[in-house]
Amino acid sequence: MALRLGDIAPDFFAKTTHGNINFHDWLKDSWGILFSHPKDYTPVCTTELGYMSKIKPEFDKRNVKILAISVDPIDSHCGWIGDINETQNTTVNFPIIADPSREISNLYDMIHPKADDTLTVRSVFIIGPDKIIKLSITYPASTGRNFDEVLRVVDSLQLTSNYQVATPVNWKNGDDCIIVPSIPADDIPQKFPKGHKEIKPYLRYTPQPDI
Ligand code: BEZ
């Protein structure tokens, strides 16, 4: 059965380009991003892993660990990393899982047989420090993902987790946030000392709490 938001991210043992890991132990208390790509030595994947390497410092700042996966073996990953570094002007700085048995890909439902019966689609999972799946998205092989959007979701999730705010349409870091509906009006002044605006009883904005 497919994994859903709120499910525990299944634990696994994996061989990666940075050595062997047990997923939950490797995550420790961090947030995590697990993302699959269909195949090594392909153009869209090359640009994706290159870009992710460049913005990894932004994920580090947010205490998020990055882990890629595909069904190709370690020696293929290692050779391809050389090409990514060369062509994308970067250094791949996160582990890539080799999953030739497809055990982990199947565990995370990353193979969609009607799209391709052997290769993974482009899945992304954001996993909280509690090991719970907070986001799951699936892109087709032909569309490179927007990892700035993944970073934006991390910011939104961390605000919700730390401050009981949600984020409105097209929110970006620094914009006003929405006070979650479960907070009674009487509690707002104490919980949101920066102030708030009530547009409707269910639509209440407050300045972003962490800036
Ligand atoms: C790519 O990464 O370029 C790619 C991979 C599989 C199918 C289509 C494109």
CATH class of 13-145: alpha beta
Q: Name the pairing type of β-strands 31-36 and 64-70.
A: parallel
What is the 3 state secondary structure string of 59-73? Answer: HHHCCEEEEEEECCC
What ranges do the domains of the chain cover? 13-145, 163-206
Q: What tokens were used for 146?
A: 């927007």
Residue pLDDT, tens place only, 75-122: 999 999 999 999 999 999 999 999 999 999 999 999 999 999 999 999
Residue pLDDT, tens place only, 127-182: 999 999 999 999 999 999 999 999 999 999 999 999 999 999 999 999 999 999 99
Residue 137 Cα to ligand 1 middle (Å): 17
DSSP letter, residue 115: T
Residue 1 has pLDDT above 80, yes or no: no
Residue pLDDT, tens place only, 57-80: 999 999 999 999 999 999 999 999
Q: What percent of the chain has pLDDT over 70?
A: 100
Show which residues are catalytic. 45
Residue 70 Cα to ligand 1 middle (Å): 12
Q: Which of 136, 178, 182 is nearest to 156 (CA)?
A: 178
CATH class of 163-206: alpha beta
